[in-house]
Amino acid sequence: MSDAPSQVPQHLSVRELLEDSALGLKVRLVAGGAGLDRKIHHVRIQKSGLALVGHLHGVVPTRIQILGGTELSYIEGLRPAEQSSAVAALLSMGLSCVLITRGAEPPPSLVAAAQRTDTPLLVCAERSSLAINRLHALLDERLAPRTRVHGVLVDVFEVGVLLLGKSGIGKSECALELVMRGHRLVADDAIECDYRPPGMVFGQPAALLRHHIEVRGLGILNIKDLFGVTAIRERKRLDLVVELEQGEREYDRLGLEEESRDVLGVAVRKVTLPVRPGRNMSSIIEIAARNELLRQAGHHPARDLVHKLERTLEVGGPASSNYDPGRHEPGRPPSSQFRAPVLNESSAPPPVNPRRG
């Protein structure tokens, strides 16, 4: 199976929105019931005030359109013919739905236009700000960009480590060894990934594979039954990608090369580890997770060492540790501006016994 991510398009029908128990709004359908299967594709709602005055540019039909108290008062202030013209122009665009807040009764012209165009017209009891916040929270969850990745996701020291590699290279065996060391399995084989702002990707197992792992020779194992509830985790953010591969190519010896893997538009840091006989991969993955924690805290050991070496070479080589910039005097050779080394227990010569001459 290929490990290339396959993105799954997301949408939500108006009917599914109304039936969703997580909506948290008191919503009722007023008109346009024939259009309940229209799709919502955008996670953000749209206020339609300008559209009522004829400025339809920028109206996205697959967004939820909200009419609050300000918009309704404008409609009610128009003459009947102007009301019909304003609402007809808006609802003729094939909108997913129109939501009226504060429990206000919609004008008859709006109800008639919604019924005529099969546009679901909804009324909720909550004010606009609360309705918008709850809709955004629900749509962020239901319409989040998603993809499926073939690999293994493990929580190692609270670092979400995604193990990738060709089939049979030992990803599941590494994950099993990490679980035996006290870490937690998130998902094996098929990882369902979804995007969360600002720039985070979370992974969780496919529903049928939850808590299970496949190990060649043993078959399917239930990690929760074998090791208990502390050995599994339902969901984890992707912090580090570890690519396992077999090969003899040159690998980064210093750790200065930065690699990343794009997952749903987010660049997740990636390291490539060669798999060889006798190499303890689970221990190396633990070290990679610890190193990632250091990097997240602002420490980069390889880069810090290189900077120290560069500074040493710039000021004069290995003896630069004895160099005192404050003692620089014009006309004196640089070699005379080094401090004498300070002797300590390890560098001072042993004392001379006067009796032995």
For range 339-343, the mean pLDDT: 45
Q: Which residues contact 293 (CB under 8 A, 6 or more apart)?
A: 157, 158, 159
* Mode of pairing for the β-strands spanning 266-274 and 200-205: unpaired
Residue 351 is predicted with a pLDDT of 55
Q: From CA 219, how far away is CA 215, in angstroms rounded?
A: 5
Instruction: Write out the two tokens for 220.
Output: 């399917």
Active site residues: 150, 171, 189, 253
**Locate tokens 């005192």: which residue?**
324
Q: Write the pLDDT tens digit of every residue in 157-211.
A: 999 999 999 988 999 999 999 999 999 999 999 999 999 888 899 999 999 999 9
Q: Which of 68, 64, 71, 14 is nearest to 38 (CA)?
A: 14
Residue 345's pLDDT band (boundaries 50, 70, 90)?
very low
The pTM score is: 0.70
Instruction: Write out the two tokens for 212.
Output: 């299970």
Selected residue with higher pLDDT from 335 and 274: 274
73 by DSSP, 3-state: which?
helix
Neighbours of 74 (CB within 10 A): 15
Domains and CATH numbers, the chain: 8-142 (3.40.1390.20), 146-296 (3.40.50.300)
Residue 277 is predicted with a pLDDT of 85
Residue 51 is predicted with a pLDDT of 85
Instruction: Find out whether the peptide bond into 198 is cis, omega within 30 degrees of 0.
Output: yes
Q: Write the pLDDT tens digit of every residue in 264-285.
A: 999 999 999 999 888 899 999 9
Burial class from Cβ neighbours inside 10 Å (0-12, 13-18, 19+) for residue 342 reads: exposed
For range 258-267, the mean pLDDT: 92
Question: Containing H/E element for 76?
Answer: helix 69-76
Residue 109 is predicted with a pLDDT of 92
Cα three-residue angle 194-195-201, rounded to 5 degrees: 85
Residue 352 is predicted with a pLDDT of 54
202 by DSSP, 3-state: which?
strand
Q: What is the DSSP string of 99-167?
A: EE-TTPPPPHHHHHHHHHHT--EEEESS-HHHHHHHHHHHHHHHS--EEEEEEEEEEETTEEEEEEEST
Q: Write the pLDDT tens digit of every residue in 92-137.
A: 999 999 999 999 999 999 999 999 999 999 999 999 999 999 999 9
Q: From CA 4, how far away is CA 7, in angstroms rounded?
A: 10
Residue 10 is predicted with a pLDDT of 77
